[in-house]
Amino acid sequence: MPSKRSLIDVHEKSKSYDWDYQDTDPKYPSRFIIPKTGKDPFRMLVRDYVRMEEEKDSRTYGALDGALRMGVAEKVEPRFMEALKLTLPDLTNAEFQAVSGVGMIARGIGNQELRQGYYAQMLDEVRHTQLEMGLRRYYVEHAPDPSGWDIGQRALYQHPGGHVSLALFQNFNTGDVIDSVINLNVVVETAYTNILLVATPEVAVANGDHALATTFLSIQSDEARHMANGYGTLFAVLQDESNVPLVNEALERHFWHSHRGLDALVGWQAEYGAVNRPGAYKDLWQEWVADDFIGSYVDKLTEFGVKAPTRLAKVASDVSWIHHSTAMAFAAIWPLNFWRSDVMGPADMEWFDSHYPGWAEVYGAFWHGHAAMADPSSGRLMLQELPSLPPFCQVCQLPCIMPRPDRSEIRVFEHGGRNIAVCSEGCDWIFHRWPKAYEGRKSFWHKYNGWDLADVILDLGFVRPDGFTLMGQPSVSLERLWTIDDIRRIGFEVKDPLAS
Amino acid sequence: MTDLVQEKVPSRREGPRDTIGITLMVSADTEAAVAMIREEQPDARVSFRGVTYKIERDGVLEFDMGRLGERLGRPIDTNFFLVNMSTYYGRMDVGDGVVRIHSDILPERFK
């Protein structure tokens, strides 16, 4: 039953129950002046929060039961579910990093109204990991080919694609608390979760996955409050003019990094994980990020000194290409994947070239080659065709073939006695502005320099229960699967492109 | 910038937008809310997205829980209404029995 008490009155009274932490020293010092004022647009109370989330869980788990009865998992396009084996653990990593991030934020912001919103958010992030694990358990038990689902989280942290996720989401809980808010609540949750959690469900349903759609939409209903937490906090810090340049710098940094990591992976899932594509990813980006986030959110704050990121036009351009380059890279390294990388057939190629004019010229030959080498009898890997392996960007961890392999913007320099590569001017700026945050990461290629590819796969543990059939395959066909013996016969040696 | 850069962020050329929006996942509550908006705020734009409705309008969007409950035939409060909301953009203000999204920096308490 709806409450008869006034929300506004109760919320006002609740703010009088103020308190602080015994140890007020933050984990990381803040450069920002954080006023004690701040407003929560949702006027969230614990009482109401619990009622709301209980209802959401009932609906979502009820829908999963329904999906079980209707055999949804068996009807999902295999290509869609295979790509999910990477992107769903990727999302769970984001939730996990956010749990500790929001705890840090709640402690660092001495305002009871905002804190209540962040406490609810931390519980949300835990809820999201539980929902996602529930969905993954459903896939493990009912997907026609569950291989890879069972080790998803461990595999994520070992795989180059997972390093993209780590590099992006560890910023949620590492560094200045307001920087974390601008990263997590403002850029990732306000701009980018809409593409991930609202637009992707449309793709999911078009490819038969109603279970994922219901789960993601329920998760996003919490994200909407997180956006409000970020908005309330942003407004609080904008009250002090000395914060404005810091806000703009943080926005610049995290908008670029989020574009790199999320446009690459979400765009890949939406188009290369789909057989049926409701629309082009670049159009989703234009609607949710350029129009809704920049036009109706950031541009509205210009009177307070907030500026749209200076690299916005560059992002708008690269968003047409980087997920295609990511797809090519994932397909090229398919033996190292814990999912099957499907071939792109004539219908796919026609769709890509009509929605991204020029696509066939850049990527067409690669996908023809990938299809020709899909059967183990070919005895060939695309990795053998490359002049060298592409370095991974020290900041965003994408392969340095961005935005397109024919127009790579790679920069290589010496730092701390070793060679470092970055994929772009934007990542170059981030690295040199915050070197301590990025210089320590070790490269995947560095770790396996000189190894036979078969031994790398065994070290990663990406083989099926029989001990020799690979989890990763170059197509979703299950007729003739590649084995570790097929790879060893090829004799491909990993060579770190940045080795001195 | 390279020659790949294209000027295709039209909202930025036009300055800040007054458009705000909300996305509701498909449900009985949502169907009633969409019908209410179409009747009460006919200039709102409603688009169906397979599993969601996106409702957009210039200025303000308002959902009154009392009137929504009459359509549903049962009471609904702001918390249960928000269970159906996947996302929004604009300035959210949840009050007693009403959910509003403003284009301007409103309400006054945010200034």
Q: Whole-model pTM above 0.90?
A: yes
Contact partners, residue B39, CB within 8 Å, separation at least 6: none
Report the percent of chain A where pLDDT is more than 90.
77
| CB distance A296 to B90 below 8 Å | yes
B51 with A205: Cβ contact below 8 A: yes
For residue A328, is pLDDT > 90?
yes
- In terms of pLDDT, which residue wins out, A316 or A479? A316
Q: Whole-angstrom Cα distance, residue B101 to residue B110?
A: 13
As a whole number of Å, the end-to-end CA separation of chain A is: 69
The per-residue pLDDT for B106 is 56
Domain count, chain A: 1
Whether A185 has its CB under 8 Å from any CB of chain B: the answer is no
Neighbours of A54 (CB within 10 A): 11
Q: Which two tokens stand for residue A158?
A: 């070992």
B78 with A7: Cβ contact below 8 A: yes
From chain A, the residues in CB contact with B65 under 8 A are 2
Q: Whole-angstrom Cα distance, residue A186 to residue B40?
A: 32
Q: Which two tokens stand for residue A152?
A: 């998803």
Residue B43, burial from CB neighbour count under 10 angstroms (0-12, 13-18, 19+): exposed
A403 with B4: Cβ contact below 8 A: yes
Q: Whole-angstrom Cα distance, residue A82 to residue B111?
A: 48
Identify which of B5, B87, B91 has the shortest CB distance to residue A224: B87
The complex scores an ipTM of 0.81
Label residue A47 by pLDDT band (50, 70, 90).
confident
From chain B, the residues in CB contact with A193 under 8 A are 87
Q: Tell me: the pLDDT tens digits for A434-460?
A: 999 999 998 999 999 999 999 999 999
CA neighbours closer than 13 Å in the CB half-sphere of residue A483: 10
Q: A16 lies in a domain?
A: no
From chain B, the residues in CB contact with A6 under 8 A are 96
Label residue A354 by pLDDT band (50, 70, 90).
very high
Identify which of B50, B78, B88 has the shortest CB distance to residue A278: B50
Substitution target in B6, B92, B109 with the highest count of A β-carbons within 10 Å is: B92
Tell me: cis bond preceding B107? Omega within 30 of 0 counts.
Answer: yes
CATH code for the domain in which residue A62 is found: 1.10.620.20
CA neighbours closer than 13 Å in the CB half-sphere of residue A158: 17
Q: A2 lies in a domain?
A: no
Identify which of A292, A308, A316 has the shortest CB distance to residue B89: A292
From chain A, the residues in CB contact with B52 under 8 A are 198, 201-202, 217
Q: Tell me: the pLDDT tens digits for B36-90?
A: 999 999 999 999 988 999 999 999 999 999 999 999 999 999 999 999 998 899 8
Q: Which two tokens stand for residue A67?
A: 């999906």
Q: Tell me: the pLDDT tens digits for A55-99?
A: 999 999 999 999 889 888 889 999 999 999 999 999 999 999 999
Q: Whole-angstrom Cα distance, residue B109 to residue A348?
A: 51
Report the percent of chain B where pLDDT is more than 70.
81
For residue B102, is pLDDT > 80?
yes
A224 with B7: Cβ contact below 8 A: no
For residue B110, is pLDDT > 80?
no
Q: Which of A341, A339, A340, A342 minimizes the C-alpha distance to A149?
A: A339
The domain of A436 spans: 36-490
**Which B residues in the span 79-108 are in contact with A, Cβ-Cβ below 8 Å?**
79-80, 82-97, 103, 105
Q: Which of A254, A246, A265 minimizes the C-alpha distance to A200?
A: A265
The per-residue pLDDT for A278 is 94
Helix locations, chain B, DSSP H? 10-13, 28-40, 65-72, 78-83
For residue A289, is pLDDT > 90?
yes
Q: A214 lies in a domain?
A: yes
Substitution target in B48, B65, B89, B103 with the highest count of A β-carbons within 10 Å is: B89
The nearest CA of chain A is from the CA of B72 a distance in Å of 14
Contact partners, residue A289, CB within 8 Å, separation at least 6: A191, A192, A194, A195
Q: Which of A297, A472, A467, A307 minimizes the C-alpha distance to A374?
A: A472
Q: Which of A325, A287, A86 minimizes the C-alpha distance to A192?
A: A287
Chain centroid to Cα A137, Å, comes to 20
Neighbours of A53 (CB within 10 A): 19
Tell me: cis bond preceding A403? Omega within 30 of 0 counts.
Answer: yes
The per-residue pLDDT for A129 is 95
Q: Tell me: the pLDDT tens digits for B19-31?
A: 999 999 999 999 9
| CB distance A259 to A315 below 8 Å | yes
Nearest CA in chain B to A191: B89
Nearest CA in chain B to A2: B77
Contact partners, residue A33, CB within 8 Å, separation at least 6: A237, A240, A242, A243
* DSSP per-residue letters across A315-373: HHHHTTTHHHHHHHHHHHTGGG-SSB-PPP-HHHHHHHHHHSTTHIIIIIHHHHHHHHT
Q: A297 lies in a domain?
A: yes
Nearest CA in chain A to B58: A296
The per-residue pLDDT for B108 is 56
For residue B107, is pLDDT > 60?
no
Q: A13 lies in a domain?
A: no
Q: A180 lies in a domain?
A: yes
Helix (H, G, I), strand (E, B) or coil at B47: strand
Q: Domains along chain B?
A: 18-110 (3.90.56.10)
For residue A262, is pLDDT > 50?
yes
Name the average pLDDT for chain B. 84
Q: Tell me: the pLDDT tens digits for A9-44?
A: 888 787 777 777 777 777 788 889 888 777 777 777
Identify which of B21, B23, B82 has the shortest CB distance to residue A52: B82
B95 with A7: Cβ contact below 8 A: yes
For residue A249, is pLDDT > 90?
yes
DSSP-derived letter for residue A302 is G
From chain B, the residues in CB contact with A302 under 8 A are 16
Q: Tell me: the pLDDT tens digits for A388-437?
A: 999 999 999 999 999 999 999 999 999 999 999 999 999 999 999 999 99
